[in-house]
Copies of this chain bind each other. A is one copy, B any other.
Amino acid sequence: MNPTVRPVILSGGSGTRLWPLSTTNAPKQFLELLGEPLFEATLGRVDELGLGGTVTVVTGRDQLLAVERSLASKAIEGATVLVEPSGRNTAPAVVAAALISDPDDVLVVLPSDHVITDSPAFGDAVSKAVALAGDGALVTFGVEPSRPETGYGYIEKGEPVGSGFRVDRFKEKPDEGEAARLAGDGRHLWNSGMFVFGAGQILSEARRQVPEILTGVVAALPAETAGTITLGEIFSDIPATSIDHAVMENAANSVVVPLDAGWSDVGSWHSVWELSERDGNGNSLNGDVVAVDVTDTYVRSGSKTVAVAGVTGLVVVVTPDVVLVVPKEKSQMVRDLAAGWAATRRAD
């Protein structure tokens, strides 16, 4: 008998990488950044895959309304929504989803803020991963590196196993030199942060490796296993850890399935520019923009007119509070700016 395959959609963090547009009150996955909000696109993708199991969303109180609206807008009925009192990274979220599932269920864990442009290729990879998970593997999707990205973790491929490879090693986000080496050696893949494993398997690994997380989630979880399930305040005492770090890195049966499906985690304004429709000058100009002699530039004008001249590769984003100006290639600096901005607000 085939296992029930249950999509688990993580809609937790807000992130600061697309600040000032993405904020706690308006997280990336609910913005109309690239057309349809990424959360709805993720629901649509899951629906297309026809996995069959109940859709499970893990989210925070602040996002519950947006989640419910998105489920309704995509006509997804009977979903289970786990509501965290505060975000504790992905490990407690995944453990909670596993605990309300049947141990034989296979969980397909998907962040809600990623882009995948080739759904059929994604579907193929998911099928392969589900088959491997059915044999007890904990599967990570790995993406062939196209540049020496320092913003992702890397996975070292080992021996082939089924349609995947044993994971020899998970590597934390590397520095630039290391990233250049990893991206070029043909043995490393980007860790996409999407996973497939049996609910029983992941709980058993959690029990072995991070029993304090399992105990904490069990204590926070009420008796319900469907509908909207609000986790108790005690959930906030669980250490914030990623499922990669907490479990996958030291699991004996970690497998990576290569994914070539136009994946992006939309992790920077540079990515947003890359994923946007661009004009003949390589510009993505959104809203009221006057541009003269401008190339390879991303502008979002908000309620103002942005007038820009004589620049290349720049990002300009206007929100009700903030005007961001940063070169595309340096868009990781947005985090520093967001931190600086937050510090200013607190000082007020």
Contacts and interface: CB of A to CB of B under 8 A. Distances in A.
B333 A323 contact: no
Interface in A280-325: 288, 290, 292-293, 301, 304-311, 314, 316, 318, 321-325
A323 B291 CA distance: 12
A330 interface: yes
A322 B309 contact: no
A20 interface: yes
Interface in A252-290: 288, 290
Nearest to A308: B325
B306 A334 contact: no
B327 A311 contact: yes
A212 interface: no
A138 to B, nearest CB: 39
A311 B337 contact: no
Interface string A317-345: 01001111111001001101110110010
Given A314-B325, A318-B323, A309 B336 contact: yes
A292 B339 CA distance: 11
Contact of A336 (B292, B305, B326, B341): B292
Contacts of A316: 323, 325
Contacts of A323: 301, 304-307, 316, 318, 323
